[in-house]
Amino acid sequence: MSQFNLLGSRRFAPFFWTQALGAFNDNAFRNAMVMLVAFQMGLDDKTVSLYTNLAPALFILPYFLFSATAGQLAEKYEKSRIIRYVKLFEIAAMAIAAIGFYTHHTTLLLVVLFLMGLHSTTFGPIKYAILPQALKPEELVGGNGLVEMGTQLAMLIGMIAGNSLMLIAGFGPIAASATTIFIAVLGYLASRRIPPAPATAPELVFNWNPITETARVLGITKQDRRVFNAVLGISWFWFFGTVLIAQLPNYTRLNLGGDGSVNTLVLTLFSLGTGAGALLCERMSGRRVEVGLVPLGAFGLTAFGVDLYLAHPHLATVHGLDWLGFLRSPGSWRVAMDLTLIGVFSGFYVVPLFAFVQARSPRDRLSRVIAGNNILNALFICVASGFGLALGALGLSAVQIFLAAAVLNVAVAAYIFTIVPEFLMRFITWVLVNTLYRVRVHGLQNIPEEGPALLVCNHVSFMDPLLLMANLRRPARFVMYYKIFNIPLLKFVFRTAKAIPIAGQKEDPAVLQRAYDDVDAALADGEIVCIFPEGGLTKDGDIAPFRPGVARILERRPVPVVPLALRGLWGSVWSRRDSMMHRARLPRRFRARVELVAGAPYSPADAQLETLEARVRELRGDLA
């Protein structure tokens, strides 16, 4: 099923449109206000500068003050009800904005800007916490991609609409006011269609102190190191994006020689690229949370950020170009490509991180984790603004600041992937598996979403653990022959995935016993463990008799057992052949079409060795 089918589902569509309309209004109001203050009120440059620099600070301030409180609200109360109150608040804020627009009352408009920041702050924890409640696990990446795409397009259209409406001669303030109020009302009507999303922590004791609650929320966010570092990765994305977007007006004017229409064009390219990258995540990840895309995204941000500098490093010799004139000028298409691809790789980078945070955070704390994420995002945005201002004060041009951010991205990415090697491990796995095979999966919904389970699978090639690792929705602990575990390069992948090396009784009884102990400890912790009961790779493509290790594991820890089967791997890269002559040949099937099939789980009492072996044989069948 395509992710776009979600747009026809009540589980998702009303929330999608509520979020998109809110993003539109945020940006339409802010840009209309800037246009009014900067171009229509006859203020001097110093006053205009004061207001335009104060505006972002007022919008971001509520994130610091109220994110922790918003996280508590989203945990303690039913979410769709809170959303409706938030949208009513937005209608009231836009009504006040209309008075400010009509009377040119800048102080009132700045108050509304603060109120819209409060609106976004309250909506933020709900925005990402409601998705895991409304969507199936396999829909999470696609849903996040649609939300990111919708947000980017709504922001872009809102910016353009805010500017354009305020410029209507004689009717600008009225047109901007009417539009923002109308959109706020549409948002409220859409919110009334959102299905109930029950409270995840109704017993939570509410803490009204924003300082102590902020500290507590940040502490909750840091409890799981992997989640916290994903949050840091998201915050870095906001840092990078803030630096990029803040420099675009000067870059457009000074380096590209363009007018306002060129600035709109480059913003459009970046936004469309981000939306496209967000949508592509579902297809590239196989509809699962695939953090292996994050290193790919980080690489693209640096590569095309550096190329953006190389494409147009010098000041323009011609100025005042409109967007068509710019596109006709030499080198313009390279700039357009760089900006679009920076957006695409931004989508690859941030969407899996959001899905990872949603998938790995406990439901009763997810909203507060998102609140902690929003606090850190706001902090990084402020630091990004200071970073751009500081480099500008040192004499760096906009394009040189792009280069600095792209180079700094290398250091930040290296740091994140060092302390969270799972990202790099998943990237290596994703590249290897998608390079060597074309994989289809069936029945993976039979693997429990929570709690312990033992997976049993036939063993065809040295790549079997990587194939499973790349396609299972939950992280699994693989039991594998210790010599395979120690293969160079792959050892990093297996160690990071917490694979369990095993040896035969005659080879190393201590390693064997330790493997059984590790399997039992993993199952006791609620993890899933995958074993290959044949005890080695098939020598002829057939399934060898299962060894009694499964029974030994279940005797110590009775858990559900899920049979798996790999189809189509025999004769592919890194599978054995049925004779020495065949083994001497080059692989017969590169980019093999293979399948992974999961059967219904067996209870521990029914998981007899013969039954499991027969079921795996049945699942393997012939390649469809």
pLDDT at 581: 41
- Amino acid making up residue 511: V
Rounded-to-integer distance, Cα 338 and Cα 350, Å? 18
- In this predicted structure, what is the pLDDT of residue 586? 46
The pLDDT value recorded for residue 576 is: 64
Give me the DSSP letters along 337-368.
Answer: HHHHHHHHHHHHHHHHHHHHHHHHS-TTTHHH
Quote the pLDDT of residue 201.
Answer: 85
Residue 589, pLDDT score: 58
Check residue 400 and give its pLDDT. Answer: 92
- In sequence order, the 6+-apart residues with CB closer than 8 A to the CB of 407 are 302, 306
Rounded CA-CA distance 172/289 in Å is: 45
So what's the pLDDT on residue 49?
Answer: 61
Residue 502: beta bridge partners? 481
Separation CA 619–CA 566 (nearest Å): 8
Q: Is 134 exposed, middle or buried (0-12, 13-18, 19+ CB in 10 A)?
A: buried
Virtual torsion, Cα 204, 208, 211, 214, nearest 10 deg: 30
Strand, helix or coil for residue 440: strand
Give the C-alpha separation, 314 to 400, whole Å.
Answer: 10
Distance CA 160, CA 166 (A): 10
Nearest to 571, CA basis, from 553, 587, 585: 587
Q: Whole-angstrom Cα distance, residue 617 to residue 603?
A: 19
Q: 592-598 and 561-567: which strand pairing?
A: antiparallel
The residue ranges of the chain whose pLDDT is under 70 are: 1-2, 38-40, 42-46, 48-50, 52-53, 286-287, 289, 489, 573, 576-590, 622-624
Q: What is the pLDDT of residues 299-326, one digit of tens each?
A: 999 999 999 999 988 888 888 888 899 8
Distance (Å, rounded) from C-alpha 445 to C-alpha 52? 52
Write out pLDDT tens, residues 334-362: 999 999 999 999 998 998 888 888 888 88
